[in-house]
């Protein structure tokens, strides 16, 4: 009976962490982060799928998200550079957050006034700007999330972040289909309405407190070492010393610390390849369903709506799975499910326009995606040294976005060279490297004989 009560108390504590204001706020910041994702992969993807653009032209638009793949290059500036006026009003993190959100709102509204057919390059440029400001917002939110939450709140924060992120995505996929099909409003008005959703993140940023910028022992040690080096070179004062110290602490030290870890390159490769097959499979979903003969409302209801609820379920199961079997096993299970879900798209090609199997396919794919996203964000967060959270998480998440935005961009060419059936078989095969890297990582952890992030839960 005591074991039952203890288990019940543990469950209650696990649920209560989600109700803490600072944890709950991550849900709304996740929504704000998901708006540019939803605009580019939902609204814009649906728009260009309805007009006379080829699969290769549509998939190349994914490469407009290139800023997400190199955001670590300017993350040190976001971490340290103070924005005039806004800094005094809101502090370092919140000032950057509000500025990026304002620029995002303007860019999203602008997108609706472009024409993908008449001026493809202009649409591409505006999509690039949305990705640029979206990547900047993500840099701030990632650092904000890791800094403001305690270690035992990180998993809950990651889950809520992804929930908010995906809710925004579904609004710009299902919502756009409903609004465009039923109300038949102009695309320019639709994107103006979409830009207003950035108010969710702005209000959250204003209401939240600025996270405390902790100076860790490791950071103090590095600063002392730097002071010694500068003194040896007779650089003891002036702007050069100030700039040298800033550059070293914000650019050199974060990467240097990461590169001193045994097997660092394996962690980087894992961030790239873990969701490669999954990213390729979802890059042309709307075009694929339309090509099979499904109408818009069936895609919205049997496809995307079912997929949305399955995604939410996947997030919850992913978090519970980590607690139950440990992070490594959770990552492995999710990787295998993602591979299997890609094969269901090939099965749909054989079966044809069956709304029930469409619902199963999208449900399975989104369930696996939700599980995989939760455990991956939790793992990447754990890989970050708290002395350099902003820069290191920007690096790891940028590599993951390299998969989503760049490596998935040739998907249209693969479809045109083969066909839809073999395209999804290929995406399943491309999920294998991520699984193999997981076993390599586990071997490295055991070889290092360090406390493992992957230790099974013994409770």
In tens, the pLDDT along 339-393 reads: 999 899 999 999 988 889 999 998 999 899 888 888 887 787 777 776 676 677 7
22 with 148: CB under 8 angstroms? yes
Residue 434 within a domain:
no
Q: Is the per-residue pLDDT at 133 higher than 90?
A: yes
34 lies in some domain: yes
Q: Is residue 215 in some structural domain? A: no
Q: What pLDDT score was predicted for residue 300?
A: 81
Give the tens place of pLDDT for each residue, 227-272. 665 665 555 555 555 556 666 666 677 777 777 777 777 887 887 7
Note whether residue 201 is domain-resident.
Answer: yes
Question: Is position 71 within any domain?
Answer: yes
- Would 339 be classed as within a structural domain? no
The total number of structural domains in the chain stands at 1
Contacts of 137 by beta carbon, 8 Å cutoff, 6+ apart: 32, 33, 36, 97, 100, 101, 104, 201
pLDDT per residue as tens digits for the range 413-452: 888 888 889 988 988 888 898 888 888 888 776 534 443 4
* Structural domain includes residue 449: no
Place of tokens 């800023």: 67
Structural domain range at position 175: 17-209
pTM: 0.68
> Distance between CA atoms of 124 and 115, rounded to whole angstroms?
10
Is 411 part of a structural domain of the chain? no
| Residue among 47, 37, 41, 36 at smallest CA distance from 290 | 47
* Domain CATH for 107: 1.20.1250.20
């Amino acid at each position: 009976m005591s074991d039952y009560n203890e288990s019940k108390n543990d469950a209650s504590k696990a649920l209560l962490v989600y109700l803490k204001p600072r944890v709950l706020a991550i849900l709304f910041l996740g929504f704000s982060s998901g708006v540019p994702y939803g605009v580019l992969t939902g609204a814009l993807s649906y728009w260009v799928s309805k007009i006379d653009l080829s699969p290769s032209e549509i998939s190349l638009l994914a490469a407009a998200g290139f800023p997400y793949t190199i955001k670590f290059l300017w993350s040190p500036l976001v971490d340290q550079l103070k924005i005039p006026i806004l800094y005094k009003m809101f502090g370092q993190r919140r000032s950057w957050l509000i500025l990026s959100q304002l620029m995002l709102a303007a860019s999203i509204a602008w997108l609706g006034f472009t024409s993908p057919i008449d001026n493809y390059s202009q649409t591409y440029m505006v999509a690039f700007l949305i990705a640029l400001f979206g990547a900047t917002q993500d840099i701030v939110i990632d650092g904000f999330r890791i800094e403001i939450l305690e270690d035992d709140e990180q998993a809950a924060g990651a889950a809520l972040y992804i929930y908010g992120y995906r809710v925004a995505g579904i609004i710009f996929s299902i919502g756009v289909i409903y609004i465009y099909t039923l109300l038949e409003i102009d695309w320019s008005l639709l994107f103006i309405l979409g830009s207003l959703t950035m108010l969710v993140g702005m209000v959250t940023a204003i209401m939240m407190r600025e996270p405390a910028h902790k100076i860790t022992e490791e950071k103090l040690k590095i600063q002392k070492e730097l002071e010694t080096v500068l003194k040896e070179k007779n650089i003891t004062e002036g702007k050069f010393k100030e700039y040298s110290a800033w550059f070293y602490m914000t650019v050199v030290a974060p990467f240097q610390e990461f590169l001193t870890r045994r097997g660092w390159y394996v962690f980087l490769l894992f961030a790239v390849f873990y969701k490669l097959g999954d990213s390729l499979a979802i890059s042309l979903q709307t075009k694929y369903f339309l090509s099979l003969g499904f109408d818009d409302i069936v895609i919205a209801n049997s496809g995307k709506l079912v997929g949305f609820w399955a995604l939410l379920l996947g997030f919850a199961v992913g978090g519970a799975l980590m607690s139950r079997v440990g992070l490594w096993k959770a990552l492995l299970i999710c990787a295998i499910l993602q591979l299997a879900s890609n094969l269901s798209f090939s099965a749909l090609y054989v079966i044809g326009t069956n709304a029930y199997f469409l619902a199963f396919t999208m449900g399975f794919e989104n369930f696996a995606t939700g599980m995989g996203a939760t455990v991956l964000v939790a793992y990447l967060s754990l890989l970050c040294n708290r002395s350099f959270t902003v820069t290191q998480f920007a690096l790891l998440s940028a590599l993951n976005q390299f998969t989503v935005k760049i490596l998935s961009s040739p998907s249209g060419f693969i479809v045109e060279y083969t066909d839809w059936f073999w395209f999804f078989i290929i995406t399943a095969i491309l999920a294998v490297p991520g699984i193999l890297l997981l076993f390599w990582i586990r071997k490295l952890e055991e070889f290092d004989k360090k406390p493992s992030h992957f230790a099974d839960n013994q409770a």
